[in-house]
Amino acid sequence: MSAPIPNTADRIVFAAMELFGEKGYGSTSVADILRAADANSGSLYHAFPTKQDVLVAVLQRYFDGIAPMLLAPAWEGVTDPVERIFALLARYRGLLEITDCSYGCPIGSLALEIHEPDPPVRALLAANLDAWVMAIEACLDAAGDRLPPEIDRRGLAQLVLSVMEGGVMQARTHRSLDSFDAGVAALRDYFGRLQAAAPGKNP
Amino acid sequence: MSAPIPNTADRIVFAAMELFGEKGYGSTSVADILRAADANSGSLYHAFPTKQDVLVAVLQRYFDGIAPMLLAPAWEGVTDPVERIFALLARYRGLLEITDCSYGCPIGSLALEIHEPDPPVRALLAANLDAWVMAIEACLDAAGDRLPPEIDRRGLAQLVLSVMEGGVMQARTHRSLDSFDAGVAALRDYFGRLQAAAPGKNP
DNA sequence: GGTCCACTTGACTGTTCATTCAACTCGGCG
DNA sequence: CGCCGAGTTGAATGAACAGTCAAGTGGACC
């Protein structure tokens, strides 16, 4: 069940996931990845044509991990759909906290770092953001008439993503969780007002 | 009054501002800057000890330009403090639009790109974000009793920054303004509900 | 036991990077 | 006129970079 004996390609992707999250794509050298994965350059280039293909594999693994590695642990023991949204935000807060505000959302960092019109990479970045937004949107749908019916669920989910990414950006820059918390508190206030204005308002 | 005959250091900072905004700091080489500024490496290193000092000068110039270059044009003809907030967001939207969603907020991009604990740079990034937030906060203060008194103005201003930065991130990734617009629309809805709940509610 | 091939090894290549430096230009000043 | 030094020139430097490759290794299959 455990000790899956990871092969070289998996070790490389795993090491690259950590390094790209910590230092970004451009600032991570192939040599860095090889050192962290305890591999040789020939092995990397046997498994991946270029460094960019390592990034593609990393983004694919992030995408595959959204439900099992991100949402599932964040939502353990939380069934209320609105509370699930704030539980997910709390998970990012915890990540910031244990890394002293230096590690945030790797997808967001990479999305702002990668500038060239580089179709497979941008498509995977977009897919990751979309999956995140759709998970929030599903919570909003599950909240049903606890929210006013005229509210655009997709747009509200995109606002939640902005609160998370913008909060991470400010927290990292200020090396403080204060602005992250303030953004979440403002979002909480907004949700309170939405629920107060909804047809199905009960505790 | 015009044609200020920019000296070499100014040309270098100006070129670096454009390039750091377009391609980021790490992906912009000193040679790129020299080419764009039509200067030689010796001139750059005569004016700046290292490439990072060019970044510091760029961030300082961004900071100095917030009021005259960003807020003043965005707020021309807009006096209502709440509308000024949305006018500022509209200005970023316009910037995204004319660059086909590729150019966003250079401060936000740099804030997520720079990872090392590099005090002068991070201090200037934080100062830039702070100045932006304080400008929004001043609008919220000016709105007076059109907002509920219990609302945390600073926290709400940080939410506005998150909406902008998160919207830019999503717009760049999707190469579409839709998610930016949706985030702003959700914020607009929130402001509508806040103003409806405020003591001094009038058109 | 032989053949095959997926995978590994690590030295190597050519390029690009930030940075250096000796030599130069030229306006100002005594 | 002669000299000074702020500013400029661009070739040179060595480190770091992504990517290549000839030579291996070892398990699987006949």
What tens digit of pLDDT does each residue of B47-86 get? 999 999 999 999 999 999 999 999 999 999 999 999 999 9
Report CB contact under 8 Å: B190, A193: yes
Contacting residues of A for B183, CB less than 8 Å apart: 155, 158-159, 162
> Which residue type occupies B184?
V
Q: A98 to each of A2, A73, A104, B42, B162, how far by Cα in Å?
A: 26, 16, 11, 44, 22
- The alpha-carbon gap from B86 to the nearest alpha carbon of chain A, in Å, equals 15
- Tell me the backbone φ, ψ of residue A86, rounded to 5 degrees: -75, -25
pLDDT band at residue B104, thresholds of 50, 70 and 90? confident
* Mean residue pLDDT across chain A: 94
pLDDT of amino acid B1 = 43
Which chain A residue has the Cα nearest residue B115? Answer: A23
Q: Is A39 near strand C, with its CB below 7 A from some atom of it? A: yes
pLDDT band at residue A140, thresholds of 50, 70 and 90? very high
Task: Tell me the torsion sign for CA atoms A137, B140, B149, B189.
Answer: negative
Q: Strand D: which positions are within 7 A of a protein CB?
A: 7-12, 16-23
- Is residue A142 within 8 angstroms of chain B, CB to CB? no
pLDDT of amino acid B202 = 56
**Residue contacts between A and B (CB atoms, under 8 Å):** 143
What percent of chain A stands above pLDDT 70? 96
Stated pTM of the model = 0.94
Q: How many Cα atoms sit within 13 Å of B50 on the Cβ side?
A: 4
- Is residue B173 within 8 angstroms of chain A, CB to CB? yes
Q: Is B29 near strand C, with its CB below 7 A from some atom of it? A: yes
Tokens of B172: 């760049």
Average the pLDDT over each of A45-49, A102-106, B47-51, B107-111 and give the range with the smallest value.
A102-106
Using CA atoms, how far apart are residues A46 and A66, in angstroms rounded to an integer? 28
Contact in structure between A185 and B155 (CB atoms under 8 Å)? yes
Report CB contact under 8 Å: B27, A23: no
The model's pLDDT over B138-176, given as tens digits with 9 standing for 90+, comes to 999 999 999 999 999 999 999 999 999 999 999 999 999
- The alpha-carbon gap from A49 to the nearest alpha carbon of chain B, in Å, equals 21
pLDDT at A1 over 80: no
pLDDT of amino acid A2 = 42
Residue from A20, A153, A173, A188 to probe the interface with B (highest B Cβ count within 10 Å): A173
B2 CA to C17 C1' in angstroms comes to: 37
Using CA atoms, how far apart are residues A56 and A122, in angstroms rounded to an integer? 9
Q: Strand C: which positions are within 7 A of a protein CB?
A: 7-12, 16-23
